[in-house]
């Protein structure tokens, strides 16, 4: 009975959110519209088809905007996407830079610059944006060079490319991309 009363108080107070109980006048669910920066996932599997790494991120669009040093300021921590901060899950230990990162879930932030980005794996998770970023939670920071894309990348995009000793996570948008190396620690 106590749980029922607590649940009722939760919804009466409005903490359940109108989306949970919202229905159209005909009784159908009132589903939200498609997000303008849709959520996407990229997964890397090894030769045995076992998952090695997964990235969940939202894909903002260029939409004729100046992206870098404007929409995404140079020198500031960026969530590396839109909405929630980008999330990286490693299914096995991997070497990132000169550090072994244990299997687990991390937030992937970046600090874009004109010619080089700082890539950050941070221990805090379930973060919206970069507003609650704390440097003391950083596990790894590495610098990677910026490469120019031959074509415009309309939506922020990510992909894994296999390497001899692991994979590189490619992150691209507008006229540039970076490659973040993940190596097997053995």
- pLDDT tens for each residue of the chain, 186 residues long: 444 444 444 444 444 444 445 666 777 888 888 888 999 999 999 999 999 999 999 999 999 999 999 999 999 999 999 999 999 999 999 999 999 999 999 999 999 999 999 999 999 999 999 999 999 999 999 999 999 999 999 999 999 999 999 999 999 999 999 999 999 997
At residue 103, the 3 state secondary structure works out as coil
Closest to 79 in 3D by CA, of 181, 184, 173, 176: 173
Confidence at residue 24, expressed as pLDDT on a 0 to 100 scale: 67
8 A C-beta contact, residue 148 and residue 175: yes
Q: How far apart are CA 15 and CA 13, in angstroms?
A: 6
Confidence at residue 4, expressed as pLDDT on a 0 to 100 scale: 40
Q: 3-state SS string over the chain? A: CHHHHHHHHHHHCCCCCHHHHCECCCCCECCCCCCCCCEEEEEEECCCCCEEEEEEEECCECCCCCCECCCECCCCCECCCCCECCEEEECCCEEECCEEECCEEEEEEEEECCCEEEEEEECCCCCECCCCCCHHHEEEEEEEECEEEEEEEEEEEEEEEEECCEEEEEEEEEEEEEEEEEECCC
Confidence at residue 23, expressed as pLDDT on a 0 to 100 scale: 63
Confidence at residue 34, expressed as pLDDT on a 0 to 100 scale: 81
At residue 21, the 3 state secondary structure works out as helix
- pTM (2 decimals)? 0.83
The token duo for 88 is 């990286």
User: Would you put residue 146 in left (φ > 0), alpha (ψ -120 to 50) or beta?
Assistant: beta
* DSSP annotation of 144: E
């Amino acid at each position: 009975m106590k749980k029922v009363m607590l649940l009722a108080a939760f919804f009466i107070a409005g903490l359940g959110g109108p989306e949970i109980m919202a229905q159209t006048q005909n009784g159908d669910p009132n589903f939200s519209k498609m997000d303008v920066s849709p959520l996407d996932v990229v997964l890397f599997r090894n030769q045995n088809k076992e998952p090695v790494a997964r990235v969940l991120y939202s894909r903002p669009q260029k939409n004729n905007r100046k992206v870098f040093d404007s929409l995404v300021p140079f020198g500031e921590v960026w969530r590396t996407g839109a909405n929630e901060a980008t999330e990286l899950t490693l299914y096995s230990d991997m070497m990132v830079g000169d550090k072994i990162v244990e299997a687990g879930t991390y937030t992937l932030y970046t600090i874009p610059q004109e010619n080089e980005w700082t890539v950050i794996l941070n221990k805090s998770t379930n973060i919206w944006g970069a507003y609650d970023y704390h440097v003391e939670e950083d596990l790894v920071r590495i610098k990677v060079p910026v490469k120019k894309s031959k074509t415009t990348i309309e939506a922020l995009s990510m992909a894994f490319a296999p390497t001899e000793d692991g994979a590189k996570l490619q992150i691209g948008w507008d006229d540039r991309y970076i490659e973040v190396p993940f190596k097997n620690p053995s």
